[in-house]
Chain A
Amino acid sequence: MNLELYLPQFEAYTEGTLSPGEREAFDLELASNPEFKEAFSLYQVSLHVMEQQIEDTLRATLKDWEKTHSGADSARTEARIVSFRARLVRYSAAAAVLLLVGVFGLSLVSRNYGNQSLYARYYDDPALGGLRGDPSAPAAGLLEEAKEAYQNQDFALAADKLRAVPQTDPQYPEALYYLGHTYSQTGQYAEAQQAFSQAASAGDSRFSEKSEWYAALSCLRAGEDDAACQDLFDRMAANPDHSFHHQAKEMVRQLGSFWRKISGVFR
């Protein structure tokens, strides 16, 4: 069966791009040539096969959106909880000694020096406001769409756009950096760490240091091995020229604190 020859004709026929004369000839061929007719029925089956792919993809997309929405709701709840806890700490300072001797006190320490709390204290959502890109760059359109999706809280779509930026594009490091933040928004901290780490080593000085910082924070939040995360903060703390030197020093201090060690009992 000469499918190679028939395929462009079938496409033109179903897309309605044939002239009236060509269409008439096509119909005639269909009526008189059994092989042509059989090939056309295979073509129609192939379209149904594609429909199944479309359905499966849309189903997966809906699930992703659902997860993102649930994730966003949880994140908002979490933010409110952290904020409440911060206030609680301030208002109950006078009672801290009493609380600390009890289980609740220990739990509170855990929450303030735990990975989640430390991360929340230092993580800063860039809201992709800085994502502008060079309008002449090949991936400019993708970055613009990613920014729009991010702002619409469609993090799955934003991640798709950012992942689509080719490695050869000059804006690839920038895309990786924002991909890290996009993953952070959906609670995919291990993936965020990986994206930030790649951005850090992608050779764009505008993003390398801040990517290192966020990779270390994501490591902490992902619940990775403490020593491995501490090592990332140590390196920044040891470099006075690093943009996040002071924050890293502060973090190292907190990670090594007595309270952090106590909180480890509950982590």
Chain B
Amino acid sequence: MSALQFSNDAFVEAVKKGGREREAAIRWLYLDQDLRAKVGAFVRNNQGNQEDGTDIFHEGILVLDRNIRENRFRGEAPVKGYFFSICRFLWMNRFRKQAKVSLMEPGAAPEQPDEDTPEGVFHREELKEVLRNVLNTLGEQCRKILEMWKLSYSMAEIAASLGMDSDAQARKAKYRCHLGLMQHLDNNPGIAQLLKQWL
């Protein structure tokens, strides 16, 4: 198990900083058995099963990671409380989408994340598909380089991870990949326009 411990501030800072520190912070949260049990219990108490609980726990981590990196988490509530509120709303939304029953506990959480309507969820899934289609036009190496760059990995780390000889080589590769992605969008104005409207 991870020996690292994170305070609220340290966790947020690590996620924002990206690279290996983000990785360690997310792993620390992932390994929190109490938090996992709490999310699982909430889901089970609201007609979900253990698998749903695990799924929501994972989805919650994805949302938390992005909200922190995009400065949507203002740090006014403890990270774990905020994470739980994300999971609670994710499960509520999924539940509504499946139109099973309404949940008993719709109370607002501190710094509650944006609530999705079923239409919103559908719209988001469509958007993901379009984004994935664009990603698939890039090679695997380009996807990895751009991902690492966006997560603030250093050029040295990118070079080491991809077996490149130097930072300069990684930098050139990143430039080529990013340019290729933008050129693809430029050459497909329909897709670019669609994404601009959605994003």
Interface residues of A (CB under 8 A from B): 1, 3-4, 7-8, 39, 41-59, 62-63, 65-66, 141-142, 152-154, 157, 164, 166
Contact = CB atoms under 8 A, between A and B. Distances in A.
A29 B178 CA distance: 22
Interface stretch (B54-62, B73-81, B84-92, B97-105): B54-62
A66 B151 CA distance: 23
A49 B182 CA distance: 10
A45 B192 contact: yes
A45 B189 CA distance: 12
A54 B150 contact: yes
Contacts of B160: 141-142, 164
Given A3-B186, A42-B182, A152-B1, 14 more contacts: A7-B182, A45-B196, A48-B131, A53-B143, A53-B146, A53-B150, A54-B147, A62-B61, A141-B160, A142-B160, A153-B1, A154-B27, A157-B23, A164-B161
A43 B186 CA distance: 10
Interface residues of A, dominant DSSP: helix
A36 to B, nearest CB: 13
Contacts of B178: 7, 46
B179 A49 contact: no
Given A42-B186, A141-B160, A49 B62 contact: no
B68 interface: no
Nearest to B156: A141
A7 B180 CA distance: 11
B181 interface: yes
16 contacts: A3-B179, A3-B183, A7-B178, A39-B186, A42-B182, A42-B186, A43-B182, A46-B182, A48-B195, A50-B147, A54-B66, A56-B135, A58-B62, A62-B30, A62-B62, A152-B1
A66 B163 contact: no
List the 5 closest pairs (A to B, CB-CB), nearest first: A52-B131, A50-B150, A62-B58, A53-B147, A166-B163
A46 B188 CA distance: 13
B134 interface: yes
Given A42-B186, A164-B160, A57 B192 contact: no
Nearest to B181: A46
Contacts of B186: 1, 3, 39, 42
B35 interface: no
Contacts of A166: 163
Nearest to B150: A50
B2 A152 contact: yes
Contacts of B147: 50, 53-54, 57
A62 B186 CA distance: 34
B27 A52 contact: no
A209 B106 CA distance: 63
B36 to A, nearest CB: 10
B135 to A, nearest CB: 5
B13 interface: no
A66 B135 contact: no
B3 A49 contact: no
Interface in B123-169: 128, 131-132, 134-135, 143, 146-147, 149-151, 160-161, 163
A47 B150 CA distance: 8
Contacts of A49: 131, 134-135, 181, 185, 195
Interface in B27-67: 27, 30, 54, 58, 61-62, 65-66
Contacts of B173: none
Contacts of A53: 135, 143, 146-147, 150
Contact of A56 (B132, B182, B195): B132
B61 A58 contact: yes
Nearest to A141: B160
A66 B150 contact: no
A7 B62 contact: no
A46 B143 CA distance: 12
A83 B141 CA distance: 45
